[in-house]
Structure 1
Amino acid sequence: MPAVIVFDLEFTTWPGAQERDWSAPGELREIVQIGALRLDADLAVTDAFETLVRPVANPHLSPYFTELTGIDQEAVDREGRAPAAALGDFLGFCKGCSVLSYGNDMIVLGENVGWARARGEQVANGFLHNGFLNVRPWLNTLAPETAGANVGRLWQVLGLPKPAAGAEHSALFDCHSFAAALRHLRAAGATLPAGCP
């Protein structure tokens, strides 16, 4: 069966931004970190993708974002990649696979691809070769205790062993938490949504 990708994004934020739906002047959801795992038919991890991205409209991270994610300005300045290059590589990693998120991260991904293209930058590997699916409603229905949990806490809420080193709001750790939740539900007899192996 084809591989499936689980992914998570960390993007610019400020106090109250989520409640305002990033509607205050200058509040754009610019991606700062992308994490993804490729899972095989048994939902075992076969490959990983992780990168930092340099935001353009808001190049200076808010203290709130840094406290939330642990990603500091120095790391982004040193290791962050241009958005178009990072997005193109991520889409290449996903090519030909179903791509799952716990929430609407694909919308944020689309916003960032659109902004890069509007700046005249070329983003390799478009969306058309992938099927993006938000499985949060499905997961919350099968495990109602997860309804108030972010992706990085799924493992805790479900009483699972910590799936990897790190902590929530680190994109790759959040992907490991997500994958652990999927394996748990499948082992309990759940049928995964269409597009999952």
Structure 2
Amino acid sequence: MLLDISPECRTLIILDIEYTAWEGSQARGWSEPWEERETVQMAMLALDAKTLAPQNHFSCLIKPTINPILSDYFMKLTGITQENLDRHGLSLAQAFEQSQDFINSFDQPVQVICNGLDSVFLANNGELVGVTCPDCLKGGQNIFAFLQENIPTYRAGHCSGDLARLVGHPIEGHMHNALFDVHSIAVALRYIKEKQAA
């Protein structure tokens, strides 16, 4: 299975987000009436579409609107503190504007990819609080199936941050930090590219 990248694509953007969560959220599918998946961190890593060489990255914290206080569970999982969020967090509208500027700074056309439903959750988050998500973000390609097919050890229960380790090239950083995760995905993509070229 090959990555479905347009032949005209010049820049590949890996997108990853971290969103509000509480103890048991995943098991119950965020089904409590007060639970919403609000983005707290968004990161992107730009790669040359042909070589997958990294070009630049973007990361920002975003203040949730409905549940502005982070749970202890989320802070322990991500390493993101309430103090850091309060001090450095952007509004979702500001984050969308900055992310659009980041994407526009690279050779076009650009294609956004993510390991899961990050693009869907971003668009849903925008609708939830009345902010329009840029088309380039909400149209991200989900590469989860591609990664599973090409990395036999990558299975349910693993996350994006596991990928670099699973392909034998671990990197330093904090699991469930969006910036760490996009770099981990990039390592996995380069590993697959080299394996397919051999």
TM-score interval, smaller chain = 0.7 to 0.9
Q: CA offsets, 1:106-146, max 9 Å, x none?
A: 111111121232xxx5x4x7215884100011110121211
**Alpha-carbon contact 1:97-1:129 (below 8 Å) kept:** no
CA distance 1:56–1:131, shift in 2 (3 Å): closer
Q: Measure, in 1, the Cα distance between the counterparts of 2:78 and 2:71.
A: 11
Query: Any gaps of 5 or more consecutive residues in structure 2?
Result: 1-8
- Identity of matched residues, %: 37
**Alpha-carbon contact 1:94-1:130 (below 8 Å) kept:** no
Match of residue 110 from structure 1: 123
Match of residue 176 from structure 1: 183
Q: Measure, in 2, the Cα distance between the counterparts of 1:83 and 1:28.
A: 14
Q: What is the letter of the counterpart of residue 97 of structure 1?
A: V
TM-score by length of 2: 0.86
Match of residue 63 from structure 2: 54
Alignment of 1:37-186 (within 5 A): 37-40=45-48, 41-95=50-104, 96-117=109-130, 121=131, 123=132, 126-127=134-135, 131-148=139-156, 149-162=158-171, 165-186=172-193
Q: Measure, in 1, the Cα distance between the counterparts of 2:115 and 2:152.
A: 14
- Is the counterpart of residue 24 in structure 1 residue 39 in structure 2? no
TM-score by length of 1: 0.87
Match of residue 6 from structure 2: none
CA RMSD for the aligned pairs?
1.8
Match of residue 10 from structure 2: 2
CA distance 1:110–1:130, shift in 2 (3 Å): closer
Q: CA offsets, 1:31-68, max 9 Å, x none?
A: 00001100002111101110000001000000000000
* Deviation for aligned residue 1:161: 3.6
Query: Any gaps of 5 or more consecutive residues in structure 1?
Result: 191-197
* Deviation for aligned residue 1:166: 1.5
